[in-house]
Structures are given as structure tokens and as C-alpha cells.
A and B are shown apart, each in its own frame.
Chain A
Amino acid sequence: MGILKASKIKKVYGKKLFAQEVLKGIDLEVESGEFVGIMGPSGSGKTTLLNVLCSIDRPTEGIVEINGQSLQKMKSKQLSTFRRTEMGFIFQDYNLLDTLTVKENILLPLSVGKTSKQEAETRCQQLAKQLGIQDILKKYPNEISGGQKQRTAAARALIIQPSIVFADEPTGALDSKSASALLESLGTLNKTNHVTIMMVTHDPVAASYCSRVLFLKDGQIYTQVYKGDKTRTQFFQEIMKTQGVLGGDGYEA
């Protein structure tokens, strides 16, 4: 079943003479339970695509549907509610609220809405256990490490049991050990909880945890590779190869 369906997405910045087409008509479909990576050189429109797909930004043209509902037909307030109930977000710089404890940060998306307290508590404890942060629930963000922060952010994204999770360079600010721990957790959650994840990354290692990787170039989908039955290492090599063909340095933000 298709969770996310995007057709003919165009995004133009600036006006008339100075117009710059960042996305040039992208068609995309994501099935339930997929772990999709988006890769591409700087300026290829990765983050813009993600922002458009997750309704933070509006496309100039084209339609995005999530769970069969068109985002373009919704008003800003409806979109907010839709984001809060259907989508989870993980950002590169964590975006945790410094004034809240880890637990309060995780429970934040439920602060408006009808989820019962027991239900929220159970979900929170379960996610904390799965992500290995149950010991730091009472701490503040400035008392924990970057990896722990990002796992907190992941828990916050998942607490609402979203249809889809959007992750924008989630490992960008992490060291390789924390990064692989986080990706490991995301991979497990993807498999056990059937969470659909869409992740923008420039890191081939991170991308190798995905089930499918899209390559963007100059605002268009250049190609995509599937993991299929390959091992992670094999998949990683395939990604590297594609990136080589694509050209451009993959190692910039």
C-alpha cells in the first residue's frame, strides 16, 4: 500500500528572471514499511524535496498525498494537525527544547490531543527501552551526548505512531559510533514496528541501512537502488559505485 505519493513536484525559488528551479518534476511513491534514503550532491534539492514532502514547504507545482490525503488541499492549520498526528520528524541539529527534560521532549507531540496518560506513558517507556535512553529520561538536553539527543528526537518522532517518519541528515552531527547505533535502532524499529522512514543523507554508510536509495541530481531523480537480499556491505558498495557515477562530492553537508 502506498503511504506517500508525489507526482510532478516542482519547486521554484525567486521570481521571473532570477527564478531557480530546484525541483524539476519529481514522481515518487513510498510503500508502507519502506526505509527510503535520498542521496545526492549538494544543491541537488534533497532537503527541499524532503521539506516539500513533509509539508513544511509548499511545492510550486505538483501534488503530495500521504495516506491518500492531498497536502495541497489542506489549510495551514489542518496541515499542522496532520503533521502532529501522522508524521514524525528527526532533524540534523536535534531540535530538542532545552527547557524540557528528555521525557518531556519525547511526550511533547502528545501535549495536544487525546492520547491517554497511561497510553502515552507505555509508549514512552517502550520507545525509551528500544532506543536505550531509559536511564536519562529525567535529564535535560544539555546534560546528554549528541547521540542520546538524536535518539531522544527519534523517540519524539515515533511517540505519535506516525504513518511516516522524515529524517533530515539525522547522523550529520554525530560521530560514527553514535551514528551507527542510531541507524541500527532506526533499522530495527523499521522492521519490528513497521515504521515507514524517509531519510535524507549524504553519508553512504547511513544510506546503506535503507531498503531503497534514491539519487537526486539537479532537481531530478537520477536513479534508485534497492537493497533486496544483499547484505549491508554489498549494498554499501553499490551505493558508493552509483555515487561515483553520479559524480560530485558526497561528503559535504
Chain B
Amino acid sequence: MKLSTLVIRSMRKNIKHYYLYFFALIFSAALYFSFVTLQHNEAVVKLTHSSMKGEAGFKVGSILLVIIVFFFVFYANQLFLKRRSKEIGLYQMIGIPKPTISYMLTIENMVLWIGATAIGILVGFFFSRFFALIFLKVINTKREVTLDFSTAALFQTILVFALLLAIVLLQTMWVVHRTSLLDLFKATSKAEQKMKKMNPLQILLGIVGMGLIIYGYYLSTVLFEMDKTITLKDLYIKMGTILGSVIIGTFLTFRYSIAFIMNMIRISKNGHLSLNDVLAVTPIMHRMKSNALSLSIITLMTAMALAILSLSYISYYSVDAQTENYMPYDLAILNHKGEQKFENALQKENIDYKKYDFDLLNAKIDTTPLLEEKLNEDLVKNISMDNIVIKESDAKKIFPKIQLAKNEAIMAGYSDVFRKFMPLKIGKSMIVYVGKEKHKVKLMEIEKQASISSQITYGNPAIIIQDELFYQLQKNTSVQKKTIWKSFVGYNITKPSQMEEAISLYKKATNNGTFKMGEQDGVTTMIQIDAKDELYKQDLENVGLIIFITGFLGSAFLIATGSILYFKQMTEAEEERDSFMTLRKIGFSTDDIMKGIYRKQLFSFGLPLLIGIFHSYFAVKSGWMFFGSELVVPLLITMGIYILLYSIFAILTSNYYRKIIKEIL
């Protein structure tokens, strides 16, 4: 028999094992190729406002993707080789020299890779259209994008996969080189580690591991504390410490703490285990030594994916809220300039609208007494005493429930970022200066929703006070002098279909939304007011690219971790085949055994997910305010979707177990 016949026969015989590896490869190639196709498509890159950023984003994305694909392929190959270790041993036994075995496996791998990459590129080409569609949807444009087959993308994909193949071949040769004939007979028993008594050092390490994680979490919550004067260098050191302690902690937890806890449970049962313990606890304990590293990596990958996805979704989700805060109405006019002209035009075109009229004052108000924590001197000096004041009767149009006494006030448009850095206490009083008089006004409530554009309020919240106090302020000359914008009129167009027309009418009536105020001392103040619709689109296109790339990477992470766990469980199921057979024979039904298997899956999938969620929660919580203004909803949505998709892998795995257990007898 020629060597080539042997190769072909062994490939045909192993087709079942190849499936997994083959699909992993096709999937990776498809993902990579479609991503690179988008990267090389100028139309897509130019869709984003700042094309420089877009290019860089795609570049970083593709590098990260290569890393994910590398891990994935490397792991799949390792499992694949492990499953075939008996075969490799057998070849050695019948006297085929190791180099020849390596050569055989090399040919096999080359055939596989060339096939998979070709199919992957084809699939990826169709994927890329689909991804482009999603991309356009994300940035909410109706523009058309044509996607041609990109030769640049083709070459890049081929190059990357050729390099990956080289690495995988090296890995294969290394494994062949290392296997001895003895391993052939020990192949299965080797994986099982003898459970020895836990020595005190291991227990200590386990505790240290959990301690490190908690310490990392604690540090992350105080990462951006304002009261300390921190330099950028300190910040980096702190971040590094958090990262290090959480990573090491995760590994130690998996390696020692979990085995320790399970051992305690086991010892406490004194031999009287339930079937669930037999199927879930003991195999996990036995495999913890070899699984600790991969479970840690999966956990950290999950945490990373979740954190990235959450943060980018937060920014995407917050576009709405941030635009809303920046511009709470569809259109707005300052100081009644062009108001009449605009309204006449609207009426002429039969466009229905709602009008919100606000009188504004710029008053001197000391808000520092409201602060929950004392800030340091430098920061206090920087807090402006200029605040925009609105009267209660105007504010009632958007906050119908408010009811103020003379010495009470409400803040509107206090964003989450401010809340995080400078939390205010409801019930404390601020000081309103009316000439030389000081009025103490109690803060009753903080509204997240803005009443007027934050452009006018310098990003501060607007302060709503009772009408009487408002008129008192209005009479004050220094207040009058400081007040540039005396009024703010917001318009909401009733029918969205008429929005475009209304915007063009608005632009005509208001000189493209530019408001100038000739002021004393010859200084002119100018503000450009944009329609909310246009602002929103601009913002969306800016964050759209980021969310798309991160979403892409996040999904790649998810699928990679899910598949690795799936492969792993498949291998474990094969290894435990004998145990299942024994259990079936001595009288446990498939359902009895499956109950234990569900437990095991809950652990195998649930624990990395749970720890990953905790990690990402603390990571996101420490810095989310730089990405957007909403935390809870996008975080819950992201995690919810992630958990849902992730559980698909757990269900697939359980079904695989069920199949094995059922067919065994």
C-alpha cells in the first residue's frame, strides 16, 4: 500500500472527526474574509465621517480577529490531535517512522486547509454582503454600497491562513514528536489525575485566587475616584494591577478554589454521593488540573467580549439620550429670532407642531453645597456659578407633575456622567444670589431629561425655580446683563414624515440655524442650533463603525468560546462513554444520567459565563461613563443576548451527550 492510499483511507475513516475541525476552519476563514472585504471596500470606509478613524478601526479589528482565529484553530487542532492520538500510536507500532507520520498528517492538513479556506472565502463573500447590510442598518443610512470581490482581501486572507497553517503544522509535528508508544496504552488514563488530599498550600492558593479577584473588583470601583489627585501614570499602574490580579485570580480560582470546594462537598458526603455528584462533581474535579487554563482563557475571553460589546452598545444606545440631552426638541429658536417667519411657513405648509416656550435667565447660583462629597479646592474653583434658570410655569409643559414652593428647585438634564463624578444630594440647599441677597433654595428632585438644549446651559443642568423667585431675579440688573439668551423655543414636529420639509423651512427662517447676539463690548456670541434629526444621524454614523467592528469581534469571541467549550465537552463525552455504559447497565435510565449531565453543563458553561459576567460588569462599571449616558439597559440587553446565544452551545452539547448515552446500550 502506498502512503497516499493510507492518507486517503485515514481521511475517509476519520471524516467524523474532521467535521468539527473542518467547520471550525471554514467558519474562521469566512469570518476573516468578509471582514477584510469590508475593510478594503472604499465605499464602506468612506461612509463613516472621519475615514481615518474608520481605517484604523478596521485595521485593529482585523488584527484582533486574527488573534481570535489563531486561538480557535490552535485549540481545535489540539483537540483533533488528541482524539487521534491512538491512531498516531498505532502507526508507530506498525513501524512507520515519525517523520513519515508527520508527513502524512501534513498532507492531510494541507488538503483540509486548502479546501476549508476556499469554501470559507466563498461563504465569506456572501457573508460580506450580509454584513454590509447590517452595517448600513447600524448607521441608519439608505445609501447603496456595491461589494466587488476584492483581490486584496483574497490575498490577505490567503496569507494569514497560510501562516496559521504553518503554525498548526509545527504544532502537529511537535505532538507527533512527543508521543511515545507508551502513550498509546495510557491515552485515556493519562487525562485523569489522581485526586490527592489537598495540601495547605493549594488551599491557600485557592483563597488567594478569590481574594485577588475581589481585590481587582474593589480597585476597579475606585479607579476614577475624583478626590485623589491622580496622574495618568498612576491610572495606568492601577489599571495594570486590576488586570493582573483579576487574570491571576481567575486562574487560581479555577485551578484550586473550585476543586477545593468540590472536594469539601465530596468529603462531607463520606462516599454517599448522589448520581448528580457522580456525573457532575467528580469528573469536573478530576479534570480541573488540565481544564483550569482553558477555562480561565474562556472566562477572560467571555469577559472581554462582554465588556467590549457592552461598552460599544452603551455608546450606540446612548446616541439617542445624548442627542436628546444636547437637543431635547426637533428644532429650536433662540430669542424669538425668526420665530414668526418659521411658524407662518409651517402653517402655510400644513405642518402640525408643538411649541415649548421658555424664558431664560443666567443667574449666579452656588451649587457646591449640594455635593455629596467634598471636592478638592482646585476643582471647586472651576465650578461655574453661572447657571441657567427656568421658571416653573414654563417647565410644567414638559414636567407636568412638578409643584414647587418658593424656596424649592428642580434640576433638569443632569447626566449620568455628572452623577457618577459629582453626585448631588436631594434635600440639600443651593445658594441663589439676587444682587446682594442670598436665597437658600432646596433641591427637591433631579430630572435626567433635559428641558432645554445643553448647548445653552454650558452642559450644566437647568435649574427650575418658582415663578416668583424667577421674576425677582429678572428684575436684577446684573442678571439682566449676563443673560444673553432670553428665551428658548422648542418645536416638536408631529408627523415624522414632514420632518425634512420642516427642517428646510427652519433653515430658511433662521439663517441655517445660526443665532447671533450682538453684545456689549463689541463681542458677538454665536450659537449654531442643529435639527435633532441631523444631529442624531451624525452621531450615529460616528459610533456606527465602532459598534459594527466591536459587534463583529464580540460575535467572533462568542462563537470561538462557545465552540471551544462544545469541542471540549464532545471530547469529554467520548472519554466518559465507558462510565455511561456502566451506569446504563447497572440500571440508571437515560433521564437519570441526563439530569447529572445538565448539572455538569451548567457548570462547564455557566461558571465561565458567570465569572465572565462579573468581570465585565466591573470593567464596564468603572469606565462606562466615557462611552455614553445609559448603563443599565444596554448592559442588560447585551448580557441577555450573550447568555441566550451562549446557551445554544450548552444545549447542543447536552444533546450530544444524550445521543451518546442513548445509543450506548
Q: A99-B283, A156-B586 are in contact. Are A111 and B271 (CB under 8 A)?
A: no
Q: Say if the beta carbon of B273 comes within 8 Å of chain A.
A: yes
Interface residue ranges of A79-125 to B (CB < 8 Å):
80-85, 87, 89, 91, 95-101, 103-104, 106-112, 117, 120-121, 124
Q: A81-B589, A97-B579, A156-B586 are in contact. Are A142 and B194 (CB under 8 A)?
A: yes
Q: Say if the beta carbon of B588 comes within 8 Å of chain A.
A: yes
Contacts of A142 in B (CB 8 A): 189, 192, 194
Contact A76 B589 (CB under 8 A): yes
Q: Say if the beta carbon of B445 comes within 8 Å of chain A.
A: no
Contact A104 B271 (CB under 8 A): yes
Q: Say if the beta carbon of B352 comes within 8 Å of chain A.
A: no
Pick the residue among B192, B272, B286, B584 that contacts A121 (CB under 8 A). Answer: B272
Pick the residue among B192, B271, B584, B665 that contacts A107 (CB under 8 A). Answer: B271
Contact A99 B587 (CB under 8 A): no
Q: Say if the beta carbon of A249 comes within 8 Å of chain B.
A: no
Chain B contact patch, size range? 20 to 34
Contact B589 A104 (CB under 8 A): no
Q: Say if the beta carbon of A56 comes within 8 Å of chain B.
A: yes
Contact B592 A112 (CB under 8 A): yes
Q: Say if the beta carbon of B208 comes within 8 Å of chain A.
A: no
Which of the candidate stretches B274-282, B325-333, B521-529, B652-660 sits at the interface with the other chain? B274-282
Q: Say if the beta carbon of B349 comes within 8 Å of chain A.
A: no
Q: Which residue of chain B has its CB nearest to the CB of A77?
A: B589
Overall SS of chain A's interface: helix
Pick the residue among A91, A98, A104, A106 that contacts B192 (CB under 8 A). Answer: A98
Contact B274 A111 (CB under 8 A): yes
Contacts of A104 in B (CB 8 A): 271, 273, 278, 282
Q: Say if the beta carbon of B49 comes within 8 Å of chain A.
A: no
Contact A100 B278 (CB under 8 A): yes
Contacts of B588 in A (CB 8 A): 80, 84, 112
Q: Say if the beta carbon of B534 comes within 8 Å of chain A.
A: no
**Interface size of A in residues (CB-CB distance below 8 Å):** 38
Q: Which residue of chain B has its CB nearest to the CB of A109?
A: B586
Q: Say if the beta carbon of B195 comes within 8 Å of chain A.
A: yes
Pick the residue among A77, A89, A117 that contacts B585 (CB under 8 A). Answer: A89
Q: Roughly how many angstroms separate A106 CA and B278 CA in the complex, as a whole number?
A: 12
Q: Say if the beta carbon of B147 comes within 8 Å of chain A.
A: no
Q: Say if the beta carbon of B372 comes within 8 Å of chain A.
A: no
Q: A83-B587, A99-B282 are in contact. Are A107 and B272 (CB under 8 A)?
A: yes
Contact A82 B278 (CB under 8 A): no
Interface residue ranges of B246-277 to A (CB < 8 Å):
270-275, 277
Count of A-B residue pairs with CB < 8 Å? 91
Q: Say if the beta carbon of A137 comes within 8 Å of chain B.
A: yes
Q: Say if the beta carbon of B581 comes within 8 Å of chain A.
A: yes
Contacts of B582 in A (CB 8 A): 91, 95-97
Q: Roughly how many angstroms separate A214 CA and B582 CA in the complex, as a whole number?
A: 27
Contact B587 A97 (CB under 8 A): no
Shortest C-beta distance, A115 to chain B (Å), equals: 9
Give the interface centre of B189, B581, B586, B592 by most chain A CB atoms within 10 Å.
B586
Pick the residue among A82, A96, A106, A107 that contacts B587 (CB under 8 A). Answer: A82
Q: Roughly how many angstroms separate A80 CA and B590 CA in the complex, as a whole number?
A: 9
Q: Which residue of chain A has its CB nearest to the CB of B580?
A: A97
Contact B278 A108 (CB under 8 A): yes
Q: Roughly how many angstroms separate A124 CA and B194 CA in the complex, as a whole number?
A: 23
Q: A98-B192, A111-B274, A142-B189 are in contact. Are A85 and B283 (CB under 8 A)?
A: no
Q: Say if the beta carbon of A184 comes within 8 Å of chain B.
A: no
Pick the residue among B271, B272, B581, B589 that contacts A80 (CB under 8 A). Answer: B589
Shortest C-beta distance, A168 to chain B (Å), equals: 10
Q: Say if the beta carbon of A226 comes within 8 Å of chain B.
A: no
Shortest C-beta distance, A228 to chain B (Å), equals: 33
Q: Which residue of chain A has its CB nearest to the CB of B283?
A: A99
Contact B272 A77 (CB under 8 A): no
Contact B285 A107 (CB under 8 A): no
Contact B282 A100 (CB under 8 A): yes
Shortest C-beta distance, A154 to chain B (Å), equals: 13
Q: Say if the beta carbon of B578 comes within 8 Å of chain A.
A: yes
List 16 additional A-B contacts (Cβ < 8 Å) besides A91-B582, A140-B194.
A81-B587, A84-B586, A89-B586, A98-B579, A99-B192, A99-B285, A100-B273, A104-B282, A108-B273, A110-B272, A111-B275, A112-B588, A121-B272, A124-B271, A140-B195, A157-B586
- Which 5 pairs across A and B sit closest by C-beta, in order of nearness? A84-B587, A83-B587, A80-B589, A103-B271, A95-B582
